[in-house]
Structure 1
Amino acid sequence: MSESVTDLIEKHLQAAFGTRPQRASVTFLGVEPIDIERFVVGEDAAYVTVGCARHPMADPNELNPDPVRGPRVEIVVRMHASRPLPGLHRRLATIAAAPAVEGLVLGADALVDLGEPLWDGAPFTALVTAVDAELGEVALPAPMDPVRFLRAVPITANEAAWMRLKGVDALREAWAEAAIDLDDPGRSPATM
């Protein structure tokens, strides 16, 4: 393959957003660097990991995981660019490295609990994922699976508890009923 998986992802993202990103790179011992690309379009910003999909995710209990086939994802957090979100890139890189480090398999409708603020001073300590339809997929040469983008919505500890108890659909319904703007970094949590 002439272009790497990360090269194909970066080309796809620049075409989708129509702009070049700001970039931060985070390195973990024993893992290839994870980049966080920040695209600003109008008054909104999208933070996208690049590097999680370098290798397919596999169940950590598999003795011989397939090095080519398997799900590949990158994480997207969309926020209004109304204020800085210090530390967000480090937390996203930690999540993106989790498949390689901990064997975590990321998918849609998953709850990822960080146990710490998603960015410095944030009330959000977890994320709930969904397929990011706006970004589509990045096709890779056969037999590799395409790269999917998972939109990660920041949630509070109470919202995470509600999701564990009632499920992701109930949480999304509570947001809709309260007309909560999920892209607002200063939003109030849904009342349960």
Structure 2
Amino acid sequence: MDVLDQVRAGVLGHFGVDSADAASVTFLGLEPIDILRVPDGEFVHYATLGGSRHPMTDPTAALADPVRGPRAELVLTLRGGAGAGSGLTRMLGVLVAAPSVEGVVLQPDALLDLGEPLWTNAPFTAVLLEDSEIPAVDLPEPAEPVRFLTVVPITATEAAWVRIRGAAALREAWAEAGIDVRDPARSAASL
């Protein structure tokens, strides 16, 4: 079983389903990335499949190790799912391809600025990454496990807040305001 088969099994197993709809995105010079769509009651989960194909490496490293290094996939959960418009699949592909394209290492509390809406007409132009509830998928040694990171859509104002005060301060503001970050129609935190 290859890496992506193991990751797919981990995602599907976590959500208790046998299969999921998938859309594929490709970027020049990169292998295809699938975005799995898993309906789950009032939520819809979108999980990338392809970012963990290769380990992420420090862009300053002289040589990239083809086996060792962190590996990650992204998961976005939206309430209702209908609030996410077109373009979401492509933007999730852009986010998970960032390590290959920009040398970014995806990790908790990372702020990724898209410079455009996460989906058509969305107020969210950046994302904050968090640990996911999906357990890591172990790979044969010496490869590191594949971690899943939750994608939290944020507004430009919230992204500025993260740069100034940090991710924990933004999460506190959400908690104080009772904001459900999984709601695609949510308002920004008053900062």
TM-score by length of 1: 0.96
Question: Aligned pair in 2 of structure 1 residues 105, 177: CA closer, same or farther (>3 Å)?
Answer: same
Q: Please give the root-mean-square deviation of Cα atoms over the aligned residues, in Å.
A: 0.9
CA distance in 1, matches of 2:3, 2:56: 14
Residue 25 of structure 2: SS of its match in structure 1?
A: strand
- 1:92-111 equivalent positions in 2, closer than 5 A: 92-111=92-111
Question: Aligned pair in 2 of structure 1 residues 84, 188: CA closer, same or farther (>3 Å)?
Answer: closer
Residue 109 of structure 1: SS of its match in structure 2?
A: coil
| Structure 2 equivalent of residue 191 of structure 1 | 190
| Structure 2 equivalent of residue 130 of structure 1 | 130
CA distance in 1, matches of 2:148, 2:90: 18
Percent sequence identity over aligned pairs? 53
| Structure 2 equivalent of residue 176 of structure 1 | 175
- 1:19-168 equivalent positions in 2, closer than 5 A: 19=17, 20-85=19-84, 86-132=86-132, 134-168=133-167
Unpaired runs of 5+ in structure 2?
none
CA distance in 2, matches of 1:31, 1:137: 24
| Structure 1 equivalent of residue 6 of structure 2 | 8
Shift of 1:102: 1.8
Structure 1 residues 52-103: Cα deviation after superposition (integer angstroms, max 9, x where no partner): 0100000112111211010000011110125152111100001111111221
CA distance in 2, matches of 1:59, 1:122: 32
Aligned length: 189
Q: Match of 1:113, as an amino acid?
A: D
Q: Match of 2:5, as an amino acid?
A: D
Structure 1 stretches (4+) deviating beyond 4 angstroms? none
Residue 150 of structure 1: SS of its match in structure 2?
A: strand
CA distance in 2, matches of 1:174, 1:81: 23
TM-score by length of 2: 0.97
Residue 73 of structure 1: SS of its match in structure 2?
A: strand
CA distance in 2, matches of 1:99, 1:186: 29
Given that 2:155 and 2:188 are in contact with CA atoms closer than 8 Å, whether structure 1 keeps it comes out as yes
Shift of 1:131: 0.7
Shift of 1:174: 0.2
